[in-house]
Structure 1
Amino acid sequence: MPGLELDLITNTTKSDSNTTPDRSAILRRGLRLEYLSVGWNLVEGGIAIGAGLVAASVALIGFGVDSFVESASASVIVWRIISENRNKMKPDKILSIEKQAQKLVAISLLIFGLFLLFESISSLAAREQPDVSQIGMILAVLSICVMWWIARSIRQVGKQLHSHAIEADATQTLACWWMSISLLIGLGLNATFGWWWADPLAGIVISILMLREARNAWNGQDCCNL
């Protein structure tokens, strides 16, 4: 990633009076956002998996697993930010940690995507009809409201730091937002019309999206725009 390396060198070699305070402030904001992301997703994941098991909803269970994967991804970015902020590292060291963090984010996306794809196809083939889950629908609405803001805020930090790893994490958060919409549609169609297949179909669509984002994150590509 030559462009990333050049940006890192440029940012780090400017005068400390002009750049160091700004970058440190951005790092602190990024850290707060990632802590928020970890906390929110742990709570969300626990509720979603519990509600999914009760309702036999593969989409809800998959949504909960995604929340835990998102927490793991955010934890990787916490490590990346703390490593730079505490050690005041040189550009080449920042770049090395950046690449490691980005690979770990990609792996977490891949694991979740494959898991959800398998579970969704299995549920569709078995014609498993989930029960109505009002808790799941309320959770999806809350997630739609929260995850959009978190994704945009994290992506802004990633752009300011010229960090593809942080931007990839924002992409995963945005994918979680899309999944919240898909989850709400699937649960809503099942509750309103009894369309049981809407639940696993929503899972398949999101799993394909996640696998694509895993590939892009691994290759260091900018996955999507917010």
Structure 2
Amino acid sequence: MIVEAGVAIAAGMAAHSLALVAFGADSVIELIAGAVLLWRLMMESQGANGVRIQRAEQRASWVVGSALLLLAAYIIVASAVKLATHTGAQASDWGIVLAVASGIIMPYLSRAKKRIGWEIGSNALRADGSCSIVCAYMAWTVLLGVVATALFGWWWADSIASLALVYFVVKEGWEAIQEARGNADACGCG
């Protein structure tokens, strides 16, 4: 995820690709969520009480959910500005490679998280694995925008791909907020 975030943000900035930068920002948010999940699992393995674990998980969900909703707002505003000013992105070979790699790797990672979650009895890890598949959907969406820009020179493709990402980002953000509010299985993943 660190490599994905770094490459996406660097390639996106070099190519002026909002879709790649947004994909990288989402990866940073996923890194934060993964670190919190690891911390939560460590608390649980060390015998912390359920109330303390639940409180930590809710705080983390608020942070992640809020960050995702702010990212969605940024994508909408930046896409609108790019479309209004007819500002397009450049082709990005690194963006294409990253999107293909993420689109292929993330489903395997999702299945592994779910399997391990079942083995250790962690609902949080199973839900994270189920919701991680969103990253693969986002990767393929970014790929469509980057490839359309590279092959056809469509100046608007990156902004449209970015706006398509908003669905996934808002969905993830809303699910995290619902989880923070105590709505069990907010994403329907468990």
TM range (shorter): 0.7 to 0.9
Tell me the equivalent position of 1:222: 186
In structure 1, stretches of 5+ residues that fail to align are 1-40
Tell me the equivalent position of 1:162: 123
TM score, norm. by length of structure 2: 0.83
Q: Residue 139 of structure 2 aligns to a residue in which SS?
A: helix
Tell me the equivalent position of 2:31: 71
- Pair 203,170 (structure 1): closer, same or farther in 2 beyond 3 Å: farther
Paired with 1:102 and 1:158, the residues of 2 have a C-alpha distance of 18
Residue 201 of structure 1 pairs with residue 174 of structure 2: no
Tell me the equivalent position of 1:106: 65
Q: Residue 219 of structure 1 aligns to a residue in which SS?
A: helix
Tell me the equivalent position of 1:90: 49
- Pair 202,150 (structure 1): closer, same or farther in 2 beyond 3 Å: same
Contact 1:168–1:217 (CA<8 Å) still a contact in 2?
A: no
The CA deviation string for residues 123-182 of structure 1, in whole angstroms up to 9 with x for no partner, is 22221121111111011111111122222333445563233xx45544553222211000
Q: Residue 101 of structure 2 aligns to a residue in which SS?
A: helix
- Pair 212,146 (structure 1): closer, same or farther in 2 beyond 3 Å: same
In structure 2, stretches of 5+ residues that fail to align are 180-184
| Alpha-carbon offset, residue 102 of structure 1 | 2.8
TM score, norm. by length of structure 1: 0.71
Paired with 1:73 and 1:94, the residues of 2 have a C-alpha distance of 15
Residue 131 of structure 1 pairs with residue 95 of structure 2: no
Contact 1:121–1:204 (CA<8 Å) still a contact in 2?
A: no
Residue 42 of structure 1 pairs with residue 2 of structure 2: yes
AA aligned to 1:47 is: V
- Pair 108,156 (structure 1): closer, same or farther in 2 beyond 3 Å: farther
AA aligned to 1:93 is: R
- Pair 152,118 (structure 1): closer, same or farther in 2 beyond 3 Å: farther
| Alpha-carbon offset, residue 225 of structure 1 | 4.8
Paired with 1:155 and 1:107, the residues of 2 have a C-alpha distance of 25
Contact 1:49–1:64 (CA<8 Å) still a contact in 2?
A: yes
Identical aligned residues as a percent: 31
Tell me the equivalent position of 1:58: 18
Structure whose CA Rg is larger: 1
Instruction: Count residues in correspondence.
Output: 183
Contact 2:138–2:168 (CA<8 Å) still a contact in 1?
A: no
Tell me the equivalent position of 1:120: 79
